[in-house]
Amino acid sequence: MASLGVKVIRPALKAVSAVSAEAAGRLAFRIFCLTPSRKPKSAKEAALLKAAVSTMERSQKVTLSFAGGWFVAHHFPRRPGAEGPRILLAHGWGSRSDYLATLIDGLLAAGAEVVALDWPGHGASPGRSLTMPQAVRAIDAAWRHFDGFDVAIGHSFGGASLACAAGAVVCDVPARVPGKLVLIGAPSEMTWLFKGFGKMMALAPAAQAAFEGMVERLSGRPVDGFDAARILGMLRRPVLVIHAEDDKEVSASHARRYDTAGPNVELYWANGFGHRRIVSAEPVIDRIKSFLGEGRKAAHLRRIA
C-alpha cells in the first residue's frame, strides 16, 4: 500500500478504534482485502499483456459461481492427440492469468489441458476485493465444474490458496487434492501477512484481534489454521516448491519452511528471477514440465508389462 494511503488510513483506524475495537478490526479487514487496480503499472506490464493476447485468445472463458460471487476461468483444451494432465493454474495477488501466458504455452506444448483462474477482483473477473476463503471456494467451483485436476500450479497467493484448498481449511468446503502440486514463490502461512499489516496500520491489540477474527468468521478456522506448509507435509502427494532467494515480496524463508514440511516436498531454487519474472523463466518452466512427467513413464511401463 502506498505510504500516502497508510498516512491517511492509520489515523482513521485509530479514531474508529477509540470508539470500537471491533469496528476498527472489521474496517481494517475490508481495507486489507481490497484488490489493486487491473491497469498495467508500467510499460513492461502493458507489453506483457499485449504479448499474451495470442495465447489467451486460444482459451474459452467459463463463468463459475461460488457462495457470494462469481469469477472467470480460462479453459485451454489439450492439443489434438495429446494425453497430458488436466492442470489448474492460479495467479498471484494483483496479477491475472494473462501474465502466466508463457507458462501456459509451455504446459500446452507438453500436452496438458489447462484451466487458468482469474480470482475475484482480478483480470476478467468482477469485484474489488478477495479473501483466502473466497479463493478456496473458487477452487472448489472449478474442481466441480471440470471434474477434478491431476495437477495444480499456483504462483504466490495462488499457490498458498491451492495448498489451503487441499487442506480443507474452509470448514464447509471439501478437500480438493490434486495428484501433484507446484507452488511458485508462495507464502507458507498467512499469519505473517496479518501481523505485518496490523503493524503497518498501528492497530491496537484489541483491533488486531478483531481484524484476525474476521478470518474465522468467514472460514470457521483461525488465521493460523491457514498454514500451507503444515498442510502439504500431511498430504503425502508430490509437491514441487519453486522460489528465488532474491524474491523481495515473499521471503525465501517460506520456501525453506516448505522444504522441511515432509519428504514429499522438493525445493527448486530459481535464483535471479525474483518474484514475478520467475513464472516466465525458461528453466522454471522446464523444471515444472519435468516434474509433471516424473512417474508417468514408470506407470506406462507397468501398464504394458
Range of the domain at 4: 1-32+191-221
129 and 262 both lie in a single domain: yes
**DSSP letter, residue 227:** B
Of 221, 243, 270, the position where a domain reaches its end is 221
Average pLDDT for consecutive 10-residue bins of the chain (305 residues)?
76 96 97 96 95 98 95 97 97 98 98 98 97 97 98 98 98 97 98 96 97 97 97 95 98 98 97 98 98 69 36
52 and 6 both lie in a single domain: no
Asked, for residue 37, whether it belongs to a domain, the answer is no
Structural domain count of the chain: 2
Distance CA 238, CA 233 (A): 10
> DSSP letters of 228-294?
HHHHHHHH-S-EEEEE-TT-SSS-HHHHHHHHTS-TTEEEEE-TTSTTTGGGG-HHHHHHHHHHHHT
pLDDT digits (tens, 9 = 90+) for 178-202: 999 999 999 999 999 999 999 999 9
Distances (CA, A) of 84 to 102, 164, 289: 18, 25, 10
Distance CA 53, CA 66 (A): 27
| Residues 227, 233 contacting (CB under 8 angstroms) | no
The tally of CA atoms less than 13 A away on the side-chain side of residue 190 is: 24
Query: Which conformational region is residue 78 in: left (phi greater than 0), alpha (psi within -120 to 50 degrees), or beta?
Result: beta
103 and 12 both lie in a single domain: no
Residue of 127, 104, 101, 102 lying closest to 114 (CA atoms): 104
pLDDT for residue 25 = 97
The tally of CA atoms less than 13 A away on the side-chain side of residue 133 is: 18
202 and 262 both lie in a single domain: no
pLDDT for residue 302 = 35
pLDDT for residue 68 = 85
87 and 132 both lie in a single domain: yes
89 and 156 both lie in a single domain: yes
pLDDT for residue 296 = 63
pLDDT digits (tens, 9 = 90+) for 108-145: 999 999 999 999 999 999 999 999 999 999 999 999 99
pLDDT for residue 6 = 87
166 and 211 both lie in a single domain: no
pLDDT digits (tens, 9 = 90+) for 278-300: 999 999 999 999 999 987 654 44
pLDDT for residue 301 = 33
143 and 79 both lie in a single domain: yes
pLDDT for residue 7 = 86
pLDDT for residue 5 = 80
